Amino acid sequence: METGYKISDIMTNDPIKIKQTETVQASAKVMKLHNVGSLLVMEDSELVGIVTERDLVAKVVCDGKDAKLVKVKDIMTAAKDMITIDPGMDIYSAMMLMKENEVRRLPVMSKGKLVGLVTAKDILKIQPELFDLVVESYELKEEERKLNLLDQ
């Protein structure tokens, strides 16, 4: 399905970034200051990872670690494990990629360089009906999965 909107039409062109040597506390302060739920982790001009609010909660708060001592590099998702997207892709493809990989944010890469960030919220602002399509698609797949279990 094509929506006619490309990632480049809706992405954040200059996402908020942090260095991997910063503390988790510093990353939380940056997220709060900019009202964002994730930071792209950079070294020089290279994307090395992403850190999200979920990382802060699951890997620091829940484990009782000191946010002043833990470094971003210790809790981030490394670039090699990240799902990225091309700026020319349709936003429907991005939404499906997010759903399949259970992520809400995709760094946008062009020729190996970071050019932006797209979030599920960005997509749903432009095409709220995509949410219904994703839910419907999920429900159909879940129904199919259950039927397959019954057949076994």
Give the C-alpha separation, 151 to 137, whole Å. Answer: 21
| pLDDT for residue 2 | 80
From the list 71, 10, 2, 7, the residue with the least C-alpha distance to 41 is 71
31-88 tens-digit pLDDT: 999 999 999 999 998 999 999 999 999 999 999 999 999 999 999 999 999 999 999 9
CATH match for 7-151 among 3.30.2010.10, 3.10.580.10, 3.40.980.10, 3.10.129.10: 3.10.580.10
| Tokens, residue 24 | 């988790």
Instruction: Find residue 17's DSSP bridge partners.
Output: 40
Domain boundaries of the chain, sorted by first residue: 7-151
| pLDDT for residue 130 | 62
| pLDDT for residue 143 | 72
Judge whether 84 and 75 are in contact, CB under 8 Å.
Answer: no
Any alpha helices (H) in the chain, and if so which ranges?
7-10, 24-34, 53-56, 91-101, 120-126, 129-151
Question: Whole-model pTM?
Answer: 0.81
| Tokens, residue 11 | 């992405």
The pLDDT of residue 7 is above 70: yes
Q: Counting Cβ atoms within 10 Å, is residue 62 exposed (0-12), middle (13-18) or buried (19+)?
A: exposed
Percent of the chain with pLDDT over 70: 87
Please, what is the Cα angle at 128 between 126 and 130, to 5 degrees?
Answer: 105
Please, what is the Cα angle at 27 between 22 and 31, to 5 degrees?
Answer: 155
105-125 tens-digit pLDDT: 999 999 999 999 999 889 888
| Tokens, residue 20 | 């991997």
Per the prediction, the chain carries an average pLDDT of: 89
